[in-house]
Structures are given as C-alpha cells and as structure tokens.
Amino acid sequence: MTLETLTLEVRRRGRKGRRAAYRVGAVAHAGNKPAPYRVFHTVTHTEITTMQRISLAAITAAAILMAAFASAPAPAQTPPEADPVHGKALYQACAACHSIDDNDLGPKHRGVVGRRAGSIEDYAYSAALRNSGLTWDKITLDRWLTNPSELVPGTKMYFKIDDPQKRADIIAYLEQLK
C-alpha cells in the first residue's frame, strides 16, 4: 500500500485554559482507498505546554500511521485487459497437451472456469491436484499458469507462462468455453 498524503490535525475541544483538551492526530490517504486511515489522541492540560502536548501527540499519531504503511503488503497488480481472440491464438501452445473437448496428456478444457480442480472423472490427475481443493477461477488460473508447481507441489503440469498479458488472454479464451 502506498502512502499518498499524511495530514496532521489539531482540534481544540472544550474551554480555553486549564480545562482545554485537544484532539490531535494524523490522517493518511493511501492509493485508491475511499476512506482515509485515522489515528487520534486527546491531550489535556498537564505540566508541559500545550504546544509540547500537541507536538508529541501529532508525532506519535504520524509514526503509528507511517509504521502501518511500511509493514502493509503491496497491493495486487491490476490485471491487464484481456483479449479472448488473442487468447485463442495463444492456446495453440496449450494444445500440445490439452484439448478443448477430450482428455489428452492433460485434461479437457471446456468448462474449466468454475470447475473444481481434479474433478473430471475419466482423467488421471496427480494426487496433489486432485486433493488441492482449488476451484478454477480467474485468479487461481492466473496463479496456476504463472507457476503450477509452486501453486500445487507434486502436480504433473510443468508449463509456465511468464507474461501476465498472455495469461489474461488465455484465461479470457477459456472463460468462453462453456
């Protein structure tokens, strides 16, 4: 997650003087999140000056938010715009092992999107894939085509597609095969 802006806010609450309280905090806006992240602390009159209290609270709030953003995972990449026509052309490389309507070296692909992995009755899946619990959706197929052995260690498939655009196009094509 990327920190876009960090704003410090100070709001006086209550009366002036010894009974004054200040709401001090930081507001962070990140990426395309609709609501900002907020950390606030209320400070009241003590032996230190008002400006010292406000500064300390603001710095603390800002540090909390900055630490949260530093430890937050990076956002997922926006998937590329998929082209099923290009995906059909790319699918020819898959045809070395797969067919649309018949099991071959690999299982048939018609209806693969939405199907539970390892569920075609008349195909001999690896035990790893059959017991994986995966369901083939866009995200799972993308992870599968990126590196099948990493997603399901012990699988029989070894073919990988490094280019995210090519993966998106092939998946778009497979989605049309109902």
Average pLDDT of the residues in 169-176 = 96
Average pLDDT of the residues in 4-27 = 59
Per-residue pLDDT at 20:
60
Per-residue pLDDT at 58:
64
For the cut 80, the answer to whether the pLDDT of residue 166 exceeds it is yes
Cβ neighbours of residue 32 closer than 8 Å, sequence gap 6 or more:
none
Superfamily grouping for domain 84-176: Cytochrome c-like domain (1.10.760.10)
Per-residue pLDDT at 67:
62
Average pLDDT of the residues in 51-69 = 63
For 116-163, the pLDDT digits (tens) are: 999 999 999 999 999 999 999 999 999 999 999 999 999 999 899 999
For the cut 90, the answer to whether the pLDDT of residue 176 exceeds it is yes
| CA separation for the pair 165, 168 (Å, rounded) | 5
Q: Which pTM does this prediction carry?
A: 0.57
Of the chain, the end-to-end C-alpha distance in Å amounts to 37
Phi, psi of 129 (to 5 degrees): -75, -40
Which pLDDT band holds residue 11 (cuts at 50, 70, 90)? low
For the cut 60, the answer to whether the pLDDT of residue 99 exceeds it is yes
The CA–CA distances, whole Å, from 50 to 18, 22, 28, 40, 56 equal: 10, 9, 24, 16, 10
- What b/e sequence results for 60-69 when a residue is b if at least 16 CB atoms lie within 10 Å of its CB, and e otherwise? ebbebbeeeb
